[in-house]
């Protein structure tokens, strides 16, 4: 990992928007938003709630492949932000039957890496320089919670982004 300093964050809420889902990430200090497509937003929500699925989805398939290879997601790092786009790295650790250990770092969309981290209960980090630049959306999340919107499931109509806020 090229960044010297990182901040640990977690998924604080997932809400549907008119264009997909808003994933609120952060800690007690700050919360920021990454917009993802509807399917990944649904996957993250299902992993958070442990919702069973009738058939494995793409993230389940990838996790099953990792497991069959003796690997797991060790951590995810949102490591850059450029022209409105976040970038992430997924660190995978694999051990074989001879106890040889290999660490692999893979570029990935933040949405997919976050989904896999939530599924495998791996920590999520953000590079300090990115953390310093993200807009704090704590007040927006707090207002949504006060209005009774369930931040884990979202509002029922999937309406416009954060109506009335």
Separation between Cα atoms, residue 32 and residue 86, nearest integer Å: 12
pLDDT recorded at residue 149: 65
- Taking 70 as the pLDDT cut, the residues of the chain under it are 1-4, 149-165
pLDDT recorded at residue 145: 80
Q: What is the pTM of this model?
A: 0.83
CB 149 within 8 A of CB 155: yes
CB 15 within 8 A of CB 157: no
Three-state secondary structure call for residue 102: strand
The pairing of strands 71-82 and 6-17 is unpaired
pLDDT recorded at residue 150: 59
103: its two tokens: 């660490």
Separation between Cα atoms, residue 53 and residue 63, nearest integer Å: 14
pLDDT recorded at residue 118: 96
65-88 pLDDT, tens per residue? Answer: 998 888 999 999 999 999 989 999
- Cα torsion 28, 129, 33, 60: sign: negative
Separation between Cα atoms, residue 148 and residue 22, nearest integer Å: 17
74 forms beta bridges with none
- CATH number for 6-146: choose from 3.90.320.10, 3.10.690.10, 3.20.20.80, 3.30.70.1400: 3.10.690.10
pLDDT recorded at residue 164: 39
Please give the sequence-ordered ranges of beta strands (E in DSSP) within 29-100, or none if there are none. 31-36, 71-82, 85-95
């Amino acid at each position: 990992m090229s960044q010297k300093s990182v901040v640990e964050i977690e998924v604080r809420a997932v809400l549907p928007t008119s264009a997909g889902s808003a994933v609120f990430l952060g800690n007690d200090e700050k919360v920021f938003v990454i917009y993802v497509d509807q399917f990944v937003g649904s996957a993250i929500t299902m992993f958070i709630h442990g919702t069973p699925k009738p058939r494995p989805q793409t993230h389940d398939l990838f996790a099953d492949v990792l497991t069959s290879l003796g690997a797991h997601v060790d951590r995810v790092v949102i490591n850059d932000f450029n022209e409105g786009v976040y970038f992430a790295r997924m660190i995978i650790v694999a051990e074989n039957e001879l106890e040889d250990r290999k660490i692999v770092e893979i570029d990935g969309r933040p949405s997919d890496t976050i989904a896999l981290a939530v599924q495998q209960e791996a920590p999520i980090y953000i590079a300090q320089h990115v953390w310093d630049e993200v807009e704090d959306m704590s007040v927006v999340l707090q207002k949504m919670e006060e209005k009774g919107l369930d931040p884990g499931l979202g509002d029922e109509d999937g309406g416009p982004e954060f109506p009335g806020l």
